[in-house]
């Protein structure tokens, strides 16, 4: 840990009469899950380094309602959505970035119908944008030549057709991007979507995350890259199940970049 993180909240900026360029929607996993918190911090370090004016909602943020909706509780979802939209609209938010594809999908696609219209980008898209605008520079560093495979999160890939931004970033690290048997449109779920994260899987021959991890390991990767905190957990569990945690790391794209840049 090098520098201290600078994490302004919307409430602070609002009190100072300022409006950030973008709101960073941290999400439940990014706020509370020990593994995902590291992704959050890595992303903030990059934002700090690139001098992006951003803010988080902090204690004013609440669950987007995604798991409730996918579990069938439309009522709870809309209560959450309407409450969040009131907060976001109250601050006049225009652009939202998030490291969670579930938050991304919900705010981007399902909030507009309930009165919440924002430009919503996934953090990999945002990082790609920063790179293209020359606001961050990236070099391979320690990832040069390493075999990295990317697991497409369903709610980023198939659900919203974002396939290239994360891959472009990996390539920018001078890493060797290797694709799994199932990738992009045909990507295989990590097993956490549709609120499965919060329940035991149904009976079957094996768990979905094990199947997906096997596909990832087939590519003989040094790193399995992810773009979703839930996928990250599922793949990390899968790698542990295969007793490969000593040789294969599961890392978010933001962590890869922060590490490469020694942040």
Sheet with 119-122, side-by-side order of all strands: 54-55, 22-25, 95-98, 119-122
Contact between 220 and another protein (CB under 8 A)?
Answer: no
DSSP state of 244: -
Q: Which of 59, 134, 243, 262 binds another protein (CB under 8 A)?
A: 59
Cβ closer to another protein: 147 or 158?
A: 158
Count of positions on this chain that bind another protein (CB under 8 A): 73
**Closer residue to another protein, CB minimum distance, 112 or 145:** 112
126 touches another protein by CB under 8 A: no
Q: Where do runs of H (alpha helix) occur along 95-228?
A: 101-105, 123-132, 164-172, 208-218
Smallest gap from Cβ 132 to another protein, in A, equals 23
Closest CB to another protein among residues 131, 224: 224
Burial class (CB in 10 A: 0-12, 13-18, 19+), 132: exposed
Tell which residue, 253, 225, 255, 1, has the closest CA to residue 128. Answer: 253
**Overall residue count recorded for the chain in this entry:** 263
Q: Out of 194, 219, 241, 261, point to the residue binding another protein (CB under 8 A).
A: 194
* DSSP letter assigned to residue 110: I
- Interactions with another protein, residue window 145-174 (CB under 8 A): 154-155, 158-161
Asked if 5 touches another protein (CB under 8 A), the answer is yes
Q: What is the DSSP string of 35-71?
A: HHHHHHHHHHHHHHHTT--EEB-GGG----SHHHHHT
In the region spanning residues 67 to 106, those forming contacts with another protein, defined by CB under 8 A, are: 67-76, 78-82, 105
**Cβ at position 122, least distance to another protein in Å:** 12
Residue 186: name the closest of 221, 220, 215 by CA: 215
Q: Is 232 in the site for another protein (CB under 8 A)?
A: no
Binding to another protein in span 8-47, by CB under 8 A: 9, 26, 28, 30-33, 37, 40-41
User: From residue 197, how far is each of 19, 29, 67, 76, 230 by CA, in Å?
Assistant: 35, 11, 9, 18, 7
Measured from the CB atom, is 41 or 123 closer to another protein? 41
Nearer to another protein, 5 or 137 (CB): 5
Of residues 28 and 225, the one with the C-beta less far from another protein: 28
How many CB atoms lie under 10 A from the CB of residue 82?
14
> Applying CB under 8 A, does 120 fall inside the site for another protein?
no
CB of 195 to another protein, least distance (A): 6
Q: Does 226 bind another protein (CB under 8 A)?
A: no
Q: Decide whether 14 or 222 has the Cβ nearer to another protein.
A: 14
């Amino acid at each position: 840990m090098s520098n201290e993180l600078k994490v302004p909240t919307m409430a602070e900026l609002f009190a100072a009469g300022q409006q950030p360029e973008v709101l960073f929607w941290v999400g439940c996993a990014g706020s509370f899950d020990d593994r995902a918190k590291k992704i959050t911090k890595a992303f903030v370090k990059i934002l700090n380094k690139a001098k992006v004016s951003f803010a988080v909602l902090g204690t004013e943020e609440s669950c987007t309602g995604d798991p409730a909706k996918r579990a069938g509780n439309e009522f709870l979802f809309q209560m959450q959505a309407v409450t969040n939209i009131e907060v976001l609209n109250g601050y006049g938010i225009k652009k939202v970035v998030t490291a969670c594809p579930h938050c991304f999908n919900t705010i981007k696609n399902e909030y507009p119908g309930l009165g919440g219209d924002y430009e919503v980008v996934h953090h990999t898209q945002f990082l790609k944008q920063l790179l293209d605008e020359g606001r961050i520079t990236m070099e391979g560093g320690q990832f040069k030549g390493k075999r990295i495979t990317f697991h497409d999160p369903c709610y980023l890939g198939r659900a919203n057709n974002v396939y290239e931004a994360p891959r472009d970033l990996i390539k920018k690290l001078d890493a060797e991007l290797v694709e799994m048997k199932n990738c992009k449109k045909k990507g295989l779920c990590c097993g956490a979507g549709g609120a499965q994260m919060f329940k035991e899987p149904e009976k079957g021959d094996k768990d979905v995350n094990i199947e997906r991890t096997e596909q990832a390991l087939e590519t003989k990767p040094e790193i399995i890259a992810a773009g979703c905190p839930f996928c990250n957990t599922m793949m990390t569990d899968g790698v542990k199940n295969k007793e490969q945690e000593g040789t294969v790391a599961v890392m978010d794209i933001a962590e890869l970049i922060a590490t490469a840049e020694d942040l």
